[in-house]
Structure 1
Amino acid sequence: MLTDCCHLGTDKTAAPAAVFPSVLASGAGGSPNWRRLDYLAHGNPRQRSAHALLMSGVWDTLQSQCQDMALVSTVAIGLDKPGSDLDLICQHPDPASLGARLCAQGWQGSEQSKEVWVLEQTRRGPDGQEWPLELYVTPSPIETLHGWRHLSLMATLLEHFGHDFYQAVLRLRRDANLKGEAAICQLLDLPGDPYLALLTLEEVDLAPIVWQAAPLTHHSRFENTLSMPRIS
């Protein structure tokens, strides 16, 4: 049994096999560590498939060329759907040089800005499943990037609000074809650009906040029984 993994909620409220690595299990507090992959091997079929692909040489090859690296895909928290990318972030002091090197290794990439390269590739894993990979290369520390911060927030929200919230997010992902950030912001009535709106929850104390699915509708209720924080 892994000592650095935790399930979302309890066995009754957990998102099915949506496990993620966290120092919370040790009682020390903190946030998930998306540099790890071992938890995927203990997850649902798609998580195990992603793990098999990444461990078939993809992860080690990239890790040997990056200063720091993480998987920040929704597969990490069980919110992926067929066709979802495996989103990877890489810290490198010279994105252009690494980008050119990876293009020579079969990736397709382009410079997004002076300090950002985005590279893509589709790979077939040992189980025959094809996965699109997207690699974001930047000299910035990976824990400061939106991909890391968004995934950490989504994991926290799933753990806090429980199984019904997880299922509601997953329905919006699959039925309305929404990104995870957009689905969560819709359920929590967060206006504006969902990629920015979600980050407003980083400083919010979730403890007194409850979420309930509104019966017979696609809407929800986001309530704080003490005082509703300003999150817009």
Structure 2
Amino acid sequence: MPEMDSGLSHGEDEAGNAVLKEVWKLLRKLRIMELLAEYHPRLAGTVPLGIQVEGSDLDIICEVREPRRFIETARCHFGQLEGFYAVTGTVEGVVRTKINFSAGGWPIELFGQPLATEKQNAWLHMQVEGRILRLLGPGFAENVRSLKSGGMKTEPAFAKLLKLEGDPYEEMLALGRLNPEEFNAVCRRAQPYI
């Protein structure tokens, strides 16, 4: 059976742990990771980080080289679920497939592109965000949730609190390439928010 871990230790609070346990129980029940194993699925986004808010979805990233086949596989297994919808498009020269549906009270998005899951931006962002949360703690996490509850997306929320300028998605990737000393220095900018 495919590895069920998202690759991160989830939040320290019991509520975060309970939500993540609930999510893994749902994913096991739907057999998503098992049925999509050939696409190397990984749970990414806010839930593994423990910073989900009402309306957050479950983001499952996949390595997809044949979008039509991916959609047909998903339709075969999940097409009967509420709101099933699939679309493929090209963004910045990269073919991307999004499949959405709902199950167990959660909106679910399968996202595929022709790139190993551990090299996809969603995964890289989550790794950086996990490092930041471990370093800056629950106060910072609560500030991220507060901004997200107000409608801000995750990466812009982190960028705002860290006082990063420029495109927040690119800035978060750049932050992940810094050495530990530089990384910690950038994170210290957020001290008034902790």
Instruction: Identify which of 40, 48, 54 aligns with 1:76.
Output: 48
1:138 positional shift: 1.9
Task: Answer with 1 or 2: which has the greater Rg.
Answer: 1
Q: 1:7 to 1:108 in 2, by over 3 A?
A: closer
Instruction: Identify which of 90, 93, 100 aligns with 2:65.
Output: 93
User: Residues of 2 paired with 1:120 and 1:7: CA distance?
Assistant: 26
Query: What TM-score comes out, normalization by structure 1 length?
Result: 0.67
User: Residues of 2 paired with 1:74 and 1:62: CA distance?
Assistant: 23
Instruction: Identify which of 2, 10, 18 aligns with 1:45.
Output: 18
User: Residues of 2 paired with 1:71 and 1:60: CA distance?
Assistant: 9
Q: How many residue pairs were aligned?
A: 176
Match of 2:13 in 1: 16
- Any unmatched runs of 5+ in structure 1? 9-13, 19-42, 125-129, 215-219, 222-232
1:17 positional shift: 4.3
What is the root-mean-square deviation in Å for CA atoms of aligned residues? 2.5
Higher relative contact order (CA 8 A, sep 6+): 2
Match of 2:86 in 1: 109
Q: 1:100 to 1:59 in 2, by over 3 A?
A: closer
Matches within 5 A, 1:128-207: 130-174=105-149, 176-207=150-181
Q: Percent identity?
A: 25
Query: What TM-score comes out, normalization by structure 2 length?
Result: 0.79
Moved over 6 A (4+): none
Deviation digits for residues 145-186 of structure 1, max 9, x if unmatched?
110001000001111122222222122222x22122111100
- Any unmatched runs of 5+ in structure 2? 1-6
